[in-house]
Amino acid sequence: MDFRGKTALITGASRGIGKAIAFSLAQKNICTLLLVARDTKQLRKVAMDLEQLGTEVSVLPLDLAHPRQVHASLVKALRHHPPIDLLVNCAGIAHQRQFIESRLQQVEAELMINLLGMYTVTRLVARQMVRRKQGHIVNVSSLMGKVAAPSMATYSATKYAIIGFSQALRAELAPHNVKVTNLMPSLTQTDMVKDMRRFYGVQATRPEQVAQALMSGVQRGHHDILVGWQSHAAVWCDRFAPQLMAQIIRWTHPQLPSRSRPAAPYSALPTAGSVPKMVSITGPSKY
Ligand SMILES: NC(=O)c1ccc[n+]([C@@H]2O[C@H](COP(=O)([O-])OP(=O)(O)OC[C@H]3O[C@@H](n4cnc5c(N)ncnc54)[C@H](OP(=O)(O)O)[C@@H]3O)[C@@H](O)[C@H]2O)c1
């Protein structure tokens, strides 16, 4: 893809992988960038640095955890912005915790931001791309969307979902000349993982390496882009020797400190007083 004269919208562009992708695109002479994240100050700082490279940059502070507001704000923003040629759905969050100790609020946040937020942005931009009969959508999944990891059950589920979503979208949008690419980084040194316990032996990459892998993958027309040899080895092993992969995961996954008492997972739900009583519809139980 020749990025000259093109416009890209990047979510999660204030930090980490999204920010690195924004800089790679600027270095490839993209004309205009629209950057999305929550932190306005940080977005403005990134925008100022990108403008030094000659790119026109607008920032759009949005919280993807609120899809209806995202929809309304994005509709307005797209009216006053050049049409989007490239959408990079990069915003995401992850909570590392044993599933049985997971908290509903965190699970909801992962589902809302990683999936519903991405869905909302994609739907609006894809419609515009279909009307123009051109465009490219990059969805940032993860290696954990191919090989799921203990202590990351909900996160892995969202990243598997992104791969399925991308595959379906690719087939749907191909007749309209809109391409869909799935980027699957492995462990990358960003804020997301700084407090996480890591898998033993996994080499961390830098966000710039992920951005570089995206650029060369897109250039070569790859649909699914893995980053680093360890990711290729893990996917290969999971496919052809799944029992060995399961064993490797058991050996390498980090032990998380267990709580003495599991956290109440549904603490955000109504209290016991407002929960309806269970009604038997089969008559009194024999037991
Ligand atoms: N780091 C890794 O090891 C790794 C590995 C595989 C895949 N990934 C994926 O790569 C993507 C980027 O992750 P990263 O490592 O670069 O993480 P990061 O450094 O924590 O950056 C996350 C980005 O998402 C934005 N974001 C978070 N919550 C948001 C919300 N509610 N609304 C709008 N924007 C929000 C953040 O901006 P604000 O805080 O300003 O909103 C930030 O720009 C994610 O999808 C992640 O799943 C990461």
pLDDT given for residue 281 in this prediction: 47
Q: Supply the DSSP string of 125-176, one letter for each residue.
A: HHHHHHHHT-EEEEEE--GGGTS--TT-HHHHHHHHHHHHHHHHHHHHHGGG
8, 42, 48, 11: which is closest to 28 by C-alpha?
8
pLDDT tens readout for residues 22-69: 999 999 999 999 999 999 999 999 999 999 999 999 999 999 999 999
Residue nearest to atom 43 of ligand 1 (CA): 12
- Ligand 1 contact via 22 beta carbon (within 6 Å): no
- Ligand 1 contact via 193 beta carbon (within 6 Å): yes
Question: Binning pLDDT at 50, 70 and 90, where does residue 279 land?
Answer: very low
> In which residue are the tokens 């969050």 written?
93
From 34, 68, 93, mutation site for ligand 1 pocket: most ligand atoms within 8 A of C-beta? 93
Cα–Cα distance measured from residue 103 to residue 126, given in angstroms and rounded to the nearest whole number: 33
Cα–Cα distance measured from residue 67 to residue 117, given in angstroms and rounded to the nearest whole number: 6
Over range 114-129, report the average pLDDT: 98
CA 140 to ligand 1: nearest atom? 45
Residue nearest to atom 46 of ligand 1 (CA): 92
pLDDT given for residue 261 in this prediction: 52
> Does residue 107 or residue 267 have the better pLDDT?
107
% helix / strand / coil in the chain, to the nearest 5?
Answer: 50, 15, 40
The CATH superfamily label for domain 7-274 reads NAD(P)-binding Rossmann-like Domain (3.40.50.720)
- Ligand 1 contact via 156 beta carbon (within 6 Å): no
Cα–Cα distance measured from residue 115 to residue 101, given in angstroms and rounded to the nearest whole number: 22
- Ligand 1 contact via 122 beta carbon (within 6 Å): no
Residue pair 7/78 in contact (Cβ under 8 Å)? The answer is no
Average pLDDT along the chain: 91
| pLDDT at residue 103 greater than cutoff 80 | yes
Over range 204-211, report the average pLDDT: 98
pLDDT given for residue 256 in this prediction: 78
Cα–Cα distance measured from residue 140 to residue 186, given in angstroms and rounded to the nearest whole number: 11
CA of 267 to the centre of ligand 1 (A): 26
Mapping DSSP onto H, E and C, the string for 232-279 reads HHHHHHHHHCHHHHHHHHHHHCCCCCCCCCCCCCCCCCCCHHHCCCCC
Cα–Cα distance measured from residue 80 to residue 211, given in angstroms and rounded to the nearest whole number: 28
Over range 124-143, report the average pLDDT: 98
Question: Binning pLDDT at 50, 70 and 90, where does residue 257 land?
Answer: confident
Over range 75-93, report the average pLDDT: 96
| DSSP-based three-state secondary structure for 177 | coil
Rounded (5°) CA angle 208-214-218: 150
> Does residue 286 or residue 171 have the better pLDDT?
171
Where along the chain do its domains lie? 7-274
E strand map for the chain: 7-11, 32-37, 56-61, 86-89, 135-140, 178-184, 224-226
Over range 255-265, report the average pLDDT: 60
The model's pTM: 0.92
- Ligand 1 contact via 67 beta carbon (within 6 Å): no
Q: Note the Cα 247 to chain centre separation in Å.
A: 27
| pLDDT at residue 192 greater than cutoff 60 | yes
- Ligand 1 contact via 84 beta carbon (within 6 Å): no
Question: Binning pLDDT at 50, 70 and 90, where does residue 287 land?
Answer: very low
Cα–Cα distance measured from residue 53 to residue 209, given in angstroms and rounded to the nearest whole number: 19
155 flagged as catalytic: yes
pLDDT tens readout for residues 153-184: 999 999 999 999 999 999 999 999 999 999 99
What does the block give as tokens for 239?
């496919």
What does the block give as tokens for 203?
């080499």
